[in-house]
Amino acid sequence: MTKTLLMLPGDGIGPEVTAQARRVAERLIEQGLALDIGEARFGGVAIDADGMPLTADTLTLAKASDAVLMGAVGGPQWADQPYGNRPEAGLLALRSGMNVYANLRPALCFAALADASSLKRALVEGLDILFVRELTGGVYFGEPRGIETLPDGQRRGVNTHVYTTSEIQRVARTAFALARGRKGEVVSAEKSNVMEAGLLWREEVQALRDAEYPDIRLTHMLADNMAMQLVKNPKQFDVILTDNLFGDMLSDEAGMLTGSLGMLPSAAIGDAGMPGLYEPIHGSAPDIAGRGVANPSASILSLAMALRYSLGAPELAAKVEAAVEAALDGGARTADLGGTMTTAAMGDAVLAHLA
Ligand SMILES: NC(=O)C1=CN([C@@H]2O[C@H](COP(=O)(O)OP(=O)(O)OC[C@H]3O[C@@H](n4cnc5c(N)ncnc54)[C@H](O)[C@@H]3O)[C@@H](O)[C@H]2O)C=CC1
Ligand SMILES: CC(C)CC(=O)C(=O)O
Ligand SMILES: [Mg+2]
């Protein structure tokens, strides 16, 4: 049966990198993949055209698709929007609306890029970490939130870091299940020493492991220590389970271990059979947008994750990943990787291995 992919290119470098992922998807369609590709406005461009970053129609389309491939949203043009109408608020609403609570962020160091990392080759060669980040709860979503003016004239900004048992359990189940197909190890990161929500996280993850996944080796690590351990000895980690905020920061840090933030894809998934949301972990990169120099690898690798987790084509996912690896082995490099290739030339280099 023909599957459907909704593309949401978004802002900044989003349209530039998703254009290359689209070329890859179109090549696979030429080769027999049964896939319909649609596209909709999302983020800042949707604010400009429709007055809001995520219209009800776009959310309906996303939920009716098998997979959504998002570019990136945000930029200085929309900095004066009311907070709840910013491009980034649209992304939070999309994640929440699709109920994609588990964000898989693989940090894989391709052999050809071991010298592109800011760490020494020996520390990153063969690196293969899978972050499982909680995506629809925690401090990005907790209530109350806002900025208020106090009686004495000071202003007070409030966000609430909050988790419930079920929110912790469902993402932890995803991490444990994925760990069974890897090394059977999970390290869970929180700040249980200073945050009650972190203590609850630790207790619930441990209880779930004891009750349902006794075969998994679970350890707990405070998130600040993990930030340090990731640059000291990143290969000690296999699956990392963490919350929305710490997962956001720790996975960007891991991006540099692999050579560039422009290499890291992600998959946001929910309950079995529901559509997934796929996106690079990077943002809209206003500093390089419009110049055609962004690295499209993370977007192409996000398409591969969509093929694996939502489009029923794991063999094509592996084929796309192998094509990216072959392009890198052949010397293909955008500026972030120390090269001079344009975004489109990098796309060409990947397509050359998908003949
Ligand atoms: N998922 C999303 O849509 C996200 C959106 N954002 C938004 O993006 C905007 C910019 O945020 P920043 O903090 O600058 O983070 P960013 O991830 O956009 O950029 C950080 C740095 O990495 C570089 N970079 C990122 N992706 C790259 C790529 N594919 N190729 C080469 N270089 C790349 C950028 O040029 C920049 O120097 C903000 O409005 C932010 O809110 C940030 C993160 C995620
Ligand atoms: C809502 C996003 C802009 C947050 C973020 O940086 C991310 O999810 O990686
Ligand atoms: Mg981020």
Confidence of residue 248 (pLDDT cuts 50, 70, 90): very high
Statement to judge: residues 49 and 81 lie in one domain: yes
Distance 344 CA to ligand 3 centre (A): 24
- What per-residue confidence (pLDDT) applies to 296? 98
Q: Is residue 161 domain-shared with residue 124, that is, in the same domain?
A: yes
Q: Tens digit of pLDDT for each residue in 135-168?
A: 999 999 999 999 999 999 999 999 999 999 999 9
252 is catalytic: yes
Q: Are residues 112 and 42 in the same domain?
A: no
**191 is annotated as an active-site residue:** yes
75 is in an annotated binding site: yes
Nearest CA to ligand 2 atom 5: 248
**Catalytic position from the list 248, 278, 309, 336:** 248
Does 95 show up as a binding residue in the annotation? yes
User: Could you say which of 263, 291, 311 is where a domain stops?
Assistant: 263
Residue from 128, 252, 329, 348 carrying the catalytic annotation: 252
- Give the N- to C-terminal CA distance of the chain in Å, as an integer: 24
- Where is the domain boundary, 241, 263, 285? 263
How many domains are contained in the chain? 2
Q: Please check whether residues 290 and 240 belong to one and the same domain.
A: no
Which CA distances in Å does 33 have to 1, 27, 231, 270?
Answer: 10, 9, 40, 24
Task: Give 190's strand partners.
Answer: 222
95/31 same-domain check: yes
Say which residues have a Cβ less than 8 Å from residue 122's Cβ, sequence separation at least 6. Answer: none
Q: Is 336 annotated as catalytic?
A: no
**At which of 263, 280, 298 does a domain end?**
263
Please check whether residues 90 and 121 belong to one and the same domain: no
CA of 138 to the centre of ligand 2 (A): 13
Are 126 and 207 within one domain? yes
Main-chain dihedrals φ then ψ at residue 88, nearest 5 degrees: -65, -35
Residues 183 and 258 in one domain: yes
* CA nearest ligand 2 atom 6, residue: 248
Q: Are residues 212 and 153 in the same domain?
A: yes
Task: Answer yes or no: do 313 and 244 share one domain.
Answer: no
Other C-beta atoms lying within 10 Å of the C-beta of residue 219 = 10
Residues 62, 147 within the same domain: no
pLDDT band at 355 (very low <50, low <70, confident <90, very high): confident
Query: What is the residue range of 239's domain?
Result: 107-263
Neighbour count for residue 281 (Cβ, 10 Å): 25
> Could you tell me if 155 and 203 lie in one domain?
yes
The rounded Å distance from CA 16 to ligand 2 centre is 19
Q: What is the pTM of this model?
A: 0.98
User: Ligand 3 centre and the CA of 250: distance in Å?
Assistant: 9
The bridge status of strand 276-278 relative to strand 67-72 is parallel
In tens, the pLDDT along 103-117 reads 999 999 999 999 999
Q: How many residues does the chain have?
A: 355
Residue 224 a catalytic site member: yes
ipTM of the prediction: 0.99
CATH code, 240: 3.40.718.10
